[in-house]
Amino acid sequence: MHPSGHQTKLASRYVLVTKAGERIALMFEKGPTSPANLWMHAEHAASIEHLGLSRRDYPAADLYAATDEKGRPIYGRHAALRQMRELANSDLVRFEIENAAQLRSVLRQLAP
């Protein structure tokens, strides 16, 4: 588990430690009306691109680019990411996870 813990029902935060000792922060987003998503730093996403998962990039430069109806900047990502210092303001990728086998494949690729 990530030091910031999990967010109630919709997001679980983790730190995956590779055999080489590298720490990879991940957030697994789940909800009753949306697909499951796995968020990670963009630098780690390159190692799993060949798996063919649906992905969306979230560049750090786009943070707070949108505004609400009162003109206040909007974070633009899942709010649970703000508690993860490794991911909160970094270039991220969100992968859509359709089943447990896909998630297992991702984890095997990230930490062989």
The predicted model gives 81-110 an average pLDDT of 92
Q: Is the pLDDT of residue 12 over 60?
A: yes
- Given a cut of 90, whether residue 70 has pLDDT beyond it is yes
Q: What does the pLDDT read at residue 1?
A: 54
In this prediction the pTM is 0.85
Q: Is the dihedral of CA 57, 61, 64, 69 positive or negative?
A: negative
* Under 8 Å between Cβ of 39 and 30: no
